[in-house]
């Protein structure tokens, strides 16, 4: 039974390998990949950032509005919890995209040769302003959270501000955090090999992506080491 399972998994691995090989061969034949247009990526990131600016601005305005007196106590608590969650989450996503856009644009700007005018300079300035706005919005989001959840405050002045917050959560809230972290871990565990395969394919048909492949591999390795070490703790206790 075990032998059959093993031979099945070997066949499956070969099948996946053959499928990837076939697809890449097909891609090479019918659609050779051109080098990615970096300028296009930077402007796409800027558009995404502008759309996200609208979203966090709406949440910012909502956080300043007085409480709706028509709501009962549970509806009001739920509304505040949801708003704080969406506001902190949206500003965090905004800053992730913002830094991605900022770093890409700085590289693009440096290579453009035209350091004081030109579209990339204006785009870079706008992105820097938006990232600053994102920071301010996140500060506001955290203040909103701390105002309505004083028992579980987030302290960004400390390096372990979120660790303190996590320690103070009660059992149900901790359960939710663990569940979210579990889902995030397993999604990333599937996405890392997919990203590596994609970078490998791009490296074959376009410019080699040595640094990106190394970075993805290291991140995947670190993520798994953290998981592995935490899991091993259960065997150390007698």
Partner 1 sequence: MAILLNRLKELRARDGLSQTELAKLTGSSRQTISLIERGDYLPSILIAMKIAKVFKMPVDDVFSMKEEEGE
Q: Which of 33, 41, 166, 173 binds partner 1 (CB under 8 A)?
A: 173
C-beta of 132 vs 175, nearer to partner 1: 175
Determine the interface stretch with partner 1 among 69-77, 90-98, 111-119, 197-205 (rule: CB under 8 A). Answer: 69-77
Q: Which of 81, 114, 160, 163 binds partner 1 (CB under 8 A)?
A: 81
- Footprint of partner 1 on 133-152 (CB under 8 A): 152
Q: How far is the CB of 75 from partner 1 (least distance, A)?
A: 9
Q: Which of 92, 139, 176, 206 binds partner 1 (CB under 8 A)?
A: 176
- Using the rule CB under 8 A, is 164 a contact of partner 1? no
- Using the rule CB under 8 A, is 34 a contact of partner 1? no
Residues in contact with partner 1, total (CB under 8 A)? Answer: 14
C-beta of 31 vs 69, nearer to partner 1: 69
Return the residue matching tokens 């390096």. Answer: 159
- Using the rule CB under 8 A, is 68 a contact of partner 1? no
Q: Which of 48, 169, 212, 213 binds partner 1 (CB under 8 A)?
A: 169
DSSP annotation string for 113-143: S--SSSHHHHHHHHHHHHHHHHHHHHHHHHH
- Using the rule CB under 8 A, is 172 a contact of partner 1? yes
Whether 82 and 113 have beta carbons less than 8 Å apart is answered as no
Structure tokens at 29: 């034949």
Determine the interface stretch with partner 1 among 38-46, 109-117, 124-132, 170-178 (rule: CB under 8 A). Answer: 170-178
Binding site residues, partner 1, CB under 8 A? 72-74, 77-78, 81, 152, 169-173, 175-176
């Amino acid at each position: 039974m075990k032998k059959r399972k093993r031979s099945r998994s070997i066949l499956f691995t070969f099948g996946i390998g053959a499928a990837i090989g076939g697809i890449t061969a097909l891609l090479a034949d019918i659609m050779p990949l051109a080098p990615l247009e970096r300028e296009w990526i930077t402007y796409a990131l800027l558009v995404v950032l502008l759309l996200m600016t609208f979203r966090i601005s709406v949440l910012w305005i909502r956080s300043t509005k007085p409480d709706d007196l028509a709501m009962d106590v549970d509806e009001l608590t739920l509304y505040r919890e949801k708003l704080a969650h969406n506001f902190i989450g949206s500003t965090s996503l905004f800053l992730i995209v913002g830094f991605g856009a900022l770093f890409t644009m700085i590289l693009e700007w440096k290579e453009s040769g035209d350091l004081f005018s030109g579209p990339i300079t204006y785009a870079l300035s706008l992105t820097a302003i938006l990232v600053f706005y994102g920071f301010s919005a996140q500060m506001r989001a955290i203040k909103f959270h701390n105002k309505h959840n004083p028992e579980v405050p987030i302290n960004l002045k400390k390096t372990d501000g979120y660790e303190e917050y996590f320690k103070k959560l009660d059992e149900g809230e901790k359960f939710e955090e663990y569940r979210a972290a579990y889902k995030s871990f397993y999604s990333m565990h599937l996405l890392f090999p997919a990203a590596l395969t994609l970078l490998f394919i791009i490296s074959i048909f376009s410019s080699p992506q040595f640094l990106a492949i190394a970075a993805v591999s290291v991140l995947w390795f670190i993520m798994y080491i953290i998981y592995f070490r935490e899991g091993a703790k259960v065997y150390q206790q007698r």
